[in-house]
Amino acid sequence: MPISERNGLKVWQLRTPKSQLIRWGAWLIGLAVFIFSWKEISDNTLWFMMDNVGEVVADITGRATPPAWSYITELGKPIWDTLAIATLGTIFALIMAVPVAFLAARNTTPSRLFVRPIALLVIVSTRSVNSLIWALLLVSIVGPGVLAGLIAISIRSIGFCAKLLYEAIEEINVVQVEAIKATGASPMQVMVYGIVPQIMPAFAGIAVFRWDINIRESTVLGLVGAGGIGLALQSSLNVLAWPKVSLILLVILVAVVIGEWVSAKVRGAII
């Protein structure tokens, strides 16, 4: 028990002087790094532009209100496309994520030494690259449009879904699998009757969760030309049509909130 002496009295302390010093040093380094980072940002900022930020905000809000309500009739198609990108993207991602997850899970992979690292690499590399970057790449390959967005969303989602799914597979109850095996089931039957029912709730949860995230992401894919409502946003921003911009932002907000509500309801029903 760390004790310090103060005026001849022994006083209880939470930490020893050494650990206290280490903590103090760590905080100091952390603070120094933060201040340095802040200074870098500050150096790269034109602070004189900030003098009239209030005016700029007032100006933009003045231009953006009221939203151009009549424009909403033209947003039906973009929002339908956005929904299609999110939904079909999630479906394709799940189709590809399921085999990857089974190859990556320790208890179902055919080879821990060769197949598992490859599956993990697929998961990490698809997950670390943002869907906008995938979209940027795919627009240059398949051309601008919904298809590029759809593929971008599906590639980005593979890693996410496969990671959560393989963690769920690793956590399954082995007793049930053994029981199915004991009946003389083939490996395929073990899969269908022993493993799949155990991960089905997790699978459905992951699917809906990712669908919700994909709605958010697909709303901005249009900024790089990959279809959906982001395309409308980009064209309105380019001509500084602020009333249209504010309407589009409102529509996106409503779509995101509805998506989150549906996803929360479905996940609540499963769990």
Partner 1 sequence: MSAALEAKLGRAWKKPPFISSPVFRWVLIIGSLVYLVLATIGTAGISEFLRWTGIVGPQFSFGATDKLFSGIEVKWDRIARGWERGWQFIKAFAEPDFTSRWKDIYKGIYESIVMTIASTVVGIAISIPVALGAARNIAPLPIYLICRAIVAVSRALNEIIVAIILVAILGFGPLAGFITLSFATIGFLAKLLAEDIENMNKVQAEAIKSTGASWTQWINFGVQPQVMPRLIGLSMYRLDINFRESAVLGLVGAGGIGGTLNTAFDRYEFDTVAAILIIIIVTVMFLEYLSGVIRARIQ
Interface residue list for partner 1 (CB under 8 A): 30, 33-34, 37-38, 40-42, 44-46, 49-50, 53, 56-57, 60, 76-77, 80, 83-84, 87-88, 91, 124-125, 127-130, 132-133, 136-137, 140-143, 145-147, 150, 193, 197, 200, 204, 216-217, 219-220, 223-224, 233, 237, 249, 252-253, 256-257, 260
Min CB(133)–partner 1 separation in Å = 6
Q: Residue 23 or residue 77: which is nearer to partner 1 going by CB?
A: 77
Q: Residue 79 or residue 105: which is nearer to partner 1 going by CB?
A: 79
Residue matched to tokens 């055919």: 110
Nearest to 213 by CA among 77, 86, 106, 125: 86
Q: Residue 17 or residue 143: which is nearer to partner 1 going by CB?
A: 143
Helix (H, G, I), strand (E, B), or coil: what is residue 174? helix
Q: Residue 105 or residue 163: which is nearer to partner 1 going by CB?
A: 163
Residue matched to tokens 């208890």: 107
Min CB(8)–partner 1 separation in Å = 27
List all residues 6 or more positions away from 63 whose beta carbon is below 8 Å from its beta carbon.
242, 243
Nearest to 64 by CA among 245, 239, 236: 245
End-to-end CA gap in the chain: 45
Q: Residue 118 or residue 129: which is nearer to partner 1 going by CB?
A: 129
Min CB(113)–partner 1 separation in Å = 20
Q: Residue 98 or residue 110: which is nearer to partner 1 going by CB?
A: 98
Distance CA 46, CA 122 (A): 41
Min CB(150)–partner 1 separation in Å = 7
Distance CA 213, CA 221 (A): 13
Min CB(4)–partner 1 separation in Å = 19
Residue 103: both structure tokens together: 């190859």
Min CB(142)–partner 1 separation in Å = 5
Min CB(185)–partner 1 separation in Å = 13
At position 24, the amino acid (one-letter code) is W
Distance CA 104, CA 167 (A): 9
Q: 248 and 79 in contact (C-beta within 8 Å)?
A: no
Min CB(191)–partner 1 separation in Å = 13
Distance CA 236, CA 58 (A): 19
Q: Residue 83 or residue 247: which is nearer to partner 1 going by CB?
A: 83
Buried b (16+ CB within 10 A) or exposed e, 108-138: bbeeeeeebeebbebbeebbeeebbebbbbb
Q: Residue 7 or residue 130: which is nearer to partner 1 going by CB?
A: 130
